[in-house]
Structure 1
Amino acid sequence: MLIFTFIYLTITSLTKPLVEISEIAHRVSKRDFDVPLFNRNTNDEIGNICRAFDRMIISIREYIDTIWEKARTEAELREKEIEMQALYTDAQLRALQNQINPHFLFNTLNSGAQLAMMEGADKTCYFIEQVSDFFRYNIQQQKQTATIDEELGLVDNFVYIMKVRFGSRLEFEKVVPTVPLKVEIPAMTLQPLVENCIKHGLKNTTGKVSLEIALKGKYITISISDNGSGIPDEIKESVFKAVSADTTRLPAEILNQTAEPVIDDTEKHTGTGLINVFLRLKLYFHRDDIFDITNGPEGKGTKFIIRIPNHV
Structure 2
Amino acid sequence: MKRTWRMHTKILLLCLGVTFSALILQMILFELSSSKMIYKQAKNESFHSLENMQEDVFDLIKRIEKVLIESYNEREFMHDLKEKTDIEVLREKYPREAYNLATSHFETTDGVVALYLYNMENEIISTYRRAVTPKHNYPLDIYETDKDYHADVVKEYVASERTDMMISSYYNTAREKEILRFVLKFYSNGNSRNTIGYVVCDVDSKTLLEIMKKYCSSEDMYLWFQPMGDRPAVSYGTIDANEKAVLEEFQKSISAGRQGDKKTIESGSRVFFQVEQDKYNFGAYSLMPQEMFYENQKILASNLALILIAMFAAAMAVAYFVTKTLTRPLEEMTDTAKKIKEGDTRLRMKVLKEDEIGILGQNFNEMLDTIEELIGREYKTKLLLNKAEYNALQAQINPHFLYNTLDTMGSIAQMQNCRQVEALCQSLSNIFRYSLDMKHPLSTIAKEMTHLKNYIYVMDVRMQDHVNYVFDIAEEVLKAEIPRLSIQPLAENALNHGLRNSRREKCICIRAKAIGEEMEITVEDNGVGMPEEKVKSLLETESVRSIGIYNIHMRMKMLYGEEYGIKISSKEGEGTCVTLKIPQNVKEE
What's the TM-score, normalizing by structure 2? 0.34
| Deviations 1:197-238, CA, capped at 9 Å, x for gaps | 112213223321110111222221101011111122111122
Amino acid of the residue matched to residue 556 of structure 2? L
Cross-structure match for 1:61: 363
Alignment equivalent of 1:88, drawn from 369, 385, 394: 394
Cα separation, partners in 2 of 1:156 and 1:79, compared to 1, 3 Å: same
Which of 519, 526, 530 aligns to 1:220? It is 519
2:566 pairs with one of 269, 286, 291: 291
Counterpart of 2:582, as a letter, is I
Q: Please tell me whether the aligned partners of residues 525 and 575 of structure 2 are also in contact (alpha carbons under 8 angstroms).
A: yes
State yes or no: 1:197 paired with 2:494.
Answer: yes
Which of 562, 569, 575 is equivalent to 1:301? 575
Structure number with greater CO (CA < 8 Å, separation at least 6) is 1
d(CA) in 1 for partners of 2:558, 2:500: 32
Distance 1:154 1:295 in 2: 26
CA contact (8 A) 2:509 2:525 kept: yes
* Distance in 2 between residues matched to 1:98 and 1:220, nearest whole Å: 30
* Cα drift, residue 63 of structure 1: 5.6
Alignment of 1:24-63 (within 5 A): 51=354, 55-56=357-358, 58-62=360-364
Name 2:197's counterpart in structure 1. none
Residue 510 of structure 2: aligned partner: 211
Alpha carbons of 1:146 and 1:63: their partners in 2 closer, same or farther (altered >3 Å)?
Answer: farther
Spell out, residue by residue over 1:46-77, the C-alpha distance to the aligned partner (whole angstroms, 9 max, x if none): xx98616x844531423653794995777645
Determine whether 1:135 maps to 2:432: yes
- One-letter code aligned to 1:126: A
Q: How many pairs are equivalent? A: 226
**8 Å contact kept, 2:568–2:576:** yes
Rounded Cα–Cα distance in structure 2 between residues aligned with 1:289 and 1:146: 18
For residue 475 of structure 2, give the secondary structure of its aligned residue in structure 1: coil
Q: Residues 176 and 76 from structure 1, CA distance in 2 versus in 1: closer, same or farther, beyond 3 angstroms?
A: same
Q: Does 1:184 align with 2:451?
A: no
| Bigger Rg over Cα | 2
| Residues 556 and 564 in structure 2, CA contact (< 8 A), matched pair in contact too | no
User: By percentage of residues, which structure has more helix?
Assistant: 1
Amino acid at match of 1:88: Q
Equivalent position to 2:537, from 238, 244, 248: 238
Q: 1:169 touches 1:202 (CA, 8 Å); kept in 2? A: no
> Per the alignment, in what secondary structure is the counterpart of residue 294 of structure 1?
strand
Show the 5 A alignment for 1:110-149.
Answer: 121-149=418-446
Measured after TM superposition, the shift of residue 147 of structure 1 is 2.2
Q: Is the Cα–Cα contact under 8 Å of residues 470 and 508 in structure 2 kept in the other structure?
A: yes
Consecutive unaligned residues of structure 1, counting only runs of 5 or more, are: 1-12, 15-30, 34-47, 100-104, 243-247, 250-266
> d(CA) in 1 for partners of 2:577 and 2:470?
14
- CA offsets 1:99-124 (integer angstroms, 9 cap, x no match): 7xxxxx9xx99xx8xxx9xx8x5444
Task: State the Cα distance separating 1:273 from its structure 2 match.
Answer: 3.0
SS in 2 for 1:228: coil
Matched residues, percent identical?
23
- Which has the higher mean CA deviation after the structures are superposed, 174-183 or 274-283? 174-183
Q: Conserved in 2, the CA contact under 8 Å of 1:186 and 1:284?
A: no
Mapped partners of 1:290, 1:239: distance in 2: 13
Does the residue aligned with 1:241 lie in a helix, a strand or coil? coil
Question: Secondary structure of 2:512's partner?
Answer: strand
Instruction: Report if aligned partners of 2:554, 2:565 keep a CA contact under 8 Å in 1.
Output: no
Work out the CA distance in 2 between the residues paired with 1:143 and 1:98: 21
Output the amino acid matched with 2:499.
Answer: G
Two-structure CA RMSD over aligned residues (Å): 3.8
Name the counterpart of 1:162.
459
Are residues 144 and 221 of structure 1, via their aligned partners in 2, closer, same or farther at CA, if it must alter by over 3 Å? same
What is the TM-score with the length of structure 1 in the denominator?
0.60
Question: Does structure 1 conserve the Cα–Cα contact (< 8 Å) formed by 2:431 and 2:454?
Answer: yes
The offset of 1:310, in angstroms, is: 1.4
Give ranges in structure 2 of 5+ residues lacking alignment.
3-345
Aligned CA distance change for structure 1 residues 241 and 64 (closer, same or farther; 3 Å)? farther
CA shift for structure 1 position 138: 1.7
Q: CA deviation at 1:79?
A: 3.2
SS at match of 1:308: strand
Counterpart residue type for residue 90 of structure 1: Q
Instruction: Give me the whole-angstrom Cα distance separating, in 1, the residues matched to 2:581 and 2:477.
Output: 17
Q: Name the one with the larger strand percent.
A: 2
Give the distance between the partners of 2:442 and 2:573, measured in 1 at CA.
33
Q: Answer yes or no: is 1:229 the counterpart of 2:528.
A: yes
Structure 1's 150 and 95: CA in aligned 2 closer, same or farther, altered over 3 A? farther
Could you say which residue in structure 2 is the equivalent of 1:43? none
Inter-CA distance 127–240: structure 2 relative to 1 (3 Å threshold): closer
Deviation, structure 1 residue 299: 8.2
Paired residue secondary structure (2:540)? helix
| 2:550 corresponds to | 275
Offset of 1:180 from its aligned partner? Answer: 5.6
Q: Output the CA distance in 1 between the equivalents of 2:353 and 2:438.
A: 63
- Aligned to 1:140, the other structure's residue is in SS state coil
